[in-house]
Structure 1
Amino acid sequence: MFDWTPKASVDVLLFLVVSLSSLFTLFLFTLPSQYEPYIEEFVEEYIQEEKEKQDGAADSSLKKKKVTRKSTKVEHSVQVVVLGDIGRSPRMQYHAISIAKHRGRVDLIGYRESEIHPDVLSNPRINIVAIASTPASLRTRSKLLFLFLAPLQVLWQAWNLYYTLGYRTKAARWMLVQNPPAIPTLAIASFICFFRNTNLVIDWHNFGYSLLALKFGSHHPIVIIASLYENLFSRFAYAHFAVTNAMARVLKDKYGVTAKALHDRPAALFKPLNPDERASFLSHLPETAQYASDLTKVPKAPWRLLVSSTSWTADEDFSILLDALTGYAKLATSKTTLPKILAIITGKGPLKEHYLSKIRALNQEKQLLNVIILTAWLSPQDYALLLGSADLGVSLHTSSSGVDLPMKVVDMFGAGLPVIGWSQFEAWPELVKEGENGRGFANSKELGNLLVELFNEKEWELSNLKRGAVKESTHRWDDEWDPVAGKLLKLVL
């Protein structure tokens, strides 16, 4: 048996102190380098000097090389960070494009899992830095397993994000971070910005705790902790952007921070199409090619093209659209004046297969006669053209916080596409003007009635909404970004 003596206690204590001291010293020496607005470099210069004239010399001067130390201002630099798929984060890509447009240098940091905006890929001022994806073994849809795997997933993400921000990229003047996800993004970003002399800016798309509440309920300990965490780390940021005025108000009232509202606007990729462009695209896209002639017949097409983009998650209830289309199909069998519907649903997400199995079952039971539902994952260019070719867009975004807005609606307006969407949340009127460029619904019955009205009984109203959407398409991303983000980042005077 070990004889525990006072001397042994002192030895163990001394060992612990030395070990901790060594680890702390190692930590200090391996901290990420700091951002410096100026760098010093050696510059070679040639100075013209007179020399003593000699007989027969043609030149009375010589060039003498001189090496001097010179300070040079570093190019304006921004790290744009999203702990998610870059290709599915259009707003962060638009940030990067705008920064580069104003001659800033950008490190766009995130997962590289899907196709990225062509303007990002082609811009020499934008450097894409991919974070290692979370292993499949740490992902789960089970609530019970989530409680055990979530800490491991957070540790994995934290280390990869820390290493990427601190050692794989140069220190930048600004770090623009998407929230959510808040855990571990805000903590790691705050730590890195403190040690690298970088200004942290949080771009609030939603609240992370409100998304967790969809899974666990608003009173679950995890949700409460997430809310406190978000509140705490929001105070370490230099500045904040919010996607709506309503979100800026909540941030002020609940977190005590001031955010500038920076509304989403469409990029130049999204634009209205003329009839010839529409017909050409529909005849070439595989999902629409066989229906193109019926979608473009004049004066009245027997088919209508409906488009919805969804992330197939709990905050977008696809069953609302599915129930509405089922009811429409049933009515269309007896009411022959109703046009048939081709519905194309784009996007990826965890609940996709669940709903695809429901669609297959409804088709087998012949409950979707006169309605065809297809899914697609398109390039950014084809997605923009699809929106410009559709008759009506549908948003199923239900808003976990009540104060965010779906980017998909902005894209639809950019393409001049009228929108109908779930409207029972506070921020909806900030984007959609009821009866001018879109209509709202609260349940599947109201959505079904809107489809009948706009495609048959009140087609004139759909034409009015189309004109309103085309008018809305003139409001672009640069118009919103330059006076808000451009000025804050000191890229626009």
Structure 2
Amino acid sequence: MAQPNENEPPQPDHAILVVMGDIGRSPRMCYHALSLAKHGFQVELVGYIGAKPHNQVVSNPNIRLVPVRTPPFIISDLFPRPLALMVKFVWMLVASLYCLLFTTSANCKLLMMQNPPGVPTMMVCYLASLVKGCAFVIDWHNYTHSILQLSNRLASAPSSAQDFSIRTALMQSFTGLAEWWEGYWGKKANWNLCVSKAMQRDLKRRWASEHLLFTIRHLPGYSEQHNFLVRLMSIADFAGIASGKHWQNGAGMDKPVDSATLFSSKDSEGKVQSNSNRPFLLVSSTSWTEDEDFGILLDALKDYEKQAQMANNNSISQPDSLLLPKLLVVITGKGPQQAFYLERIAKMRMQNVHIVTAWLAAEDYPKLLACADLGVSLHTSTSGVDLPMKVVDMFGCHLPVLAKRFEAIDELRTQASSNRVATGFPNQSKSLDKLKKSLSGKSTTWDEQWDAAFWPVVQSMSVTPPLHEEMNRWERFQSNEEDGTDTEPLIGQQE
């Protein structure tokens, strides 16, 4: 057997991340890729090429995008829904298996997939992990079978009662098969990552899954939030906000735009500090459809304006009285009723509330959520059964959410103390009081929790030393340095 050549640098470890969806709209898997690349891995990100991924992903020399051919859209038009699902199953099975076996690295340490979709991806990734001799990891965002069940409810009505009964029976069979599929193949994973502790418990309850880890989504640190807000205030939609044009009594800035925003500023040492008179940032995302009554939010903002003016007037005669913060309300999205509400917003004249409607890049939306103080969802649904996935995004960024209650909203709740459906507002509400008490804790960033929860697992997948240590050894060898920590540094070099 050939001996390794010490004059050659150690080969980097490889990881394959599979997203059977649009890579650009899968930020969590992109963050996994960046974290692995930071630790020296060569990462292959497999999925559909649609929206442009974050620039950090595209420009990273350690990350390579591997495209998978998407099923033709015409399949849904040519076949009834049950048959279309079977055709798509075969297409995805062949396309993903070919991609993983013939267009990705033969040797890798880790193969991670995102679920959903788990059919047929779970089986394909598990088989590929056996062929490549690597660890198999599933990152659970949701359940394939629950999304399939919900989409079946919302599918267009069949032409006859007989068609309805046949389709219902077939789709119920598919949903049951998908649930079994997730349980069977999910238990074969070496590790399962979950987006919430509630999912962690549910996986254990449903399928007695083992090796469960809890990780969070990316949460920008204070410095990253500040830099993002500086850039955000330069967008045309936010014109006049940074200068204080829309605010009264000291909400503007007296520092250069590159060092301060309404929310934070940098001191002489470059440390980011929160402004004492910063406005309250409220975010809502909408498709401007009839199942979201934005009049509720606009009426509430008018009431807030009245209360804020009263508080400001009282502060003149009573300096110790409580002042309400100014509100910056950012509403994102496009839709059919947008023009109607924009006209109404334009007629609102408020001194303590300013509303901005904006359309942000995919990579900027989660950053905005991470910077916000409160999220609002007014989604109720004409059917009462579809789910406001915007709330999932907000929860993923640890953003408290005020949501209008309807039948299916309970499906988004977790049992964490910060997520509750409150009734009785604006009057007395025990649930809301409990929510207020739960918001004092400090959230950790993605890097902090990923390094603490998952990186040790990645290291345990091999007996070889971590790559960055091996690279340091090789660099010292090439520089004729002694291998060890107790030697003196070379003259002219710093430790």
TM-score range, shorter chain: 0.5 to 0.7
Q: In the aligned structure 2, how far is the partner of 1:235 from the partner of 1:86?
A: 25
Instruction: Tell me whether 1:490 sits opposite 2:466 in the alignment.
Output: no
Q: How does 1:16-415 map to 2 (within 5 A)?
A: 75-139=12-76, 145-171=80-106, 172-217=108-153, 220-268=172-220, 278=229, 280-281=230-231, 283-289=233-239, 293-294=244-245, 297-299=248-250, 306-309=282-285, 319-320=291-292, 322=294, 324-325=296-297, 327-328=299-300, 337=309, 342-346=329-333, 356-361=335-340, 370=348, 374-378=357-361, 380=363, 382-383=364-365, 386-387=368-369, 392-394=374-376, 406-411=392-397, 413=398
Distance 1:99 1:319, change over 3 A: same
Tell me by how many angstroms 1:175 deviates. 0.7
Distance change in 2, residues 1:466/1:215 (3 Å): same
Which SS does the other structure have where 1:261 is aligned? strand
TM-superposed CA distance for 1:92, in Å, is 0.9
TM-fit CA distance, 1:480: 1.6
> Which amino acid letter does the alignment assign opposite residue 455 of structure 2?
G
Instruction: Report the secondary structure of 1:169's partner residue.
Output: coil
* Pair 1:287–1:378, CA change in 2 (3 A): same
Change (3 A) 1:227 1:282: closer
**Structure 1 residues 443-454: aligned runs within 5 Å:** 449=426
1:479 is aligned to 448
Q: Which has the higher strand share?
A: 1
| In 1, Cα distance between equivalents of 2:20 and 2:33 | 15
CA apart distance, 1:358 = 3.2
Deviations 1:94-128 (A, max 9, x none): 11111122222211111221232233223222222
Which structure: larger Rg?
1
- TM-score, L = length of structure 2: 0.63
**Once the 2 structures are TM-superposed, how far is the Cα of residue 429 of structure 1 from its aligned partner?**
5.0
Deviation at 1:83, TM superposition (A): 0.8
Hey, what's the Cα distance between the residues in 1 that align with 2:236 and 2:95?
A: 39
Closer/same/farther in 2, CA of residues 282 and 123 from structure 1, 3 Å limit: closer
Cα deviations across residues 233-282 of structure 1 (Å, max 9, x unaligned)? Answer: 213222212222221222122112114232214254775756x985x545
Would the alpha carbon gap of residues 340 and 269 (structure 1) be closer, same or farther in structure 2, given more than 3 Å must change? Answer: closer
The 1-side partners of 2:305 and 2:248 are apart by: 21
The superposition leaves residues 133-180 of structure 1 with CA deviations (integer Å, 9 ceiling, x where unpaired) of: 33232357x9x9433322222222222211111100112222111111
Q: Give the TM-score normalised by the residue count of structure 1.
A: 0.63
Counterpart CA distance in 2 for 1:395 and 1:222 is: 32
Q: Is the 1:307–1:393 contact (alpha carbons within 8 Å) kept by the matching residues of 2?
A: yes
Where 1:75 maps in the other structure, the secondary structure is: coil
- Given that 1:395 and 1:409 are in contact with CA atoms closer than 8 Å, whether structure 2 keeps it comes out as no
Contact kept? 2:13, 2:42, Cα under 8 Å: yes
Residue-by-residue CA offset, 1:320-378 (whole Å, 9 max, x unaligned): 563532543786899895988744225xxxxx6xxx113345567x5985396735131
Change in CA separation of 1:234 and 1:81 when aligned onto 2, cut-off 3 Å = same
Structure 2 unaligned regions, length at least 5? 154-167, 253-277, 311-325, 349-353, 467-495
Change (3 A) 1:387 1:178: closer
Q: Distance in 2 between matches of 1:389 and 1:239?
A: 31
Distance 1:94 1:333, change over 3 A: closer
Structure 1 contact 80–175 (Cα < 8 Å) conserved: yes
Alignment RMSD (CA, Å): 4.8
SS in 2 for 1:264: coil
Instruction: Give the Å deviation of 1:204.
Output: 1.1
Q: Which of 241-250 and 331-340 deviates more?
A: 331-340
Percent identity of paired positions between Structure 1 and Structure 2: 25
- The 1:466–1:266 alpha-carbon spacing in structure 2 relative to 1, beyond 3 Å, is farther
Q: Which amino acid aligns with 1:378?
A: A
Structure 1: 5+ residue runs without aligned partners? Answer: 1-38, 46-69, 347-351, 435-439
Whole-angstrom distance in 2 between the partners of 1:204 and 1:252: 13
Amino acid at match of 1:162: L
1:216–1:223 contact (8 Å) kept in structure 2: no
SS, match of residue 215 in structure 1:
helix
Provide the C-alpha distance between the structure 1 equivalents of 2:231 and 2:61, rounded to a whole number of angstroms.
30
How far the C-alpha of 1:40 sits from its partner, in A, is 5.9
Q: Determine if contact 1:305/1:392 at 8 Å carries over to the other structure.
A: yes
Describe the shift of the 1:185–1:269 C-alpha distance in structure 2 as closer, same or farther (beyond 3 A).
farther
**Pair 1:384–1:299, CA change in 2 (3 A):** farther
| 1:297-320, Cα deviation, whole Å (9 max, x unpaired) | 44469997532357x69xxx9935
Distance 1:373 1:127, change over 3 A: same
Residues 145 and 299 of structure 1: is their aligned pair in 2 closer, same or farther, counting only changes over 3 Å?
A: farther
Give 1:296 deviation, angstroms: 5.2
Aligned partner letter, 2:394: K
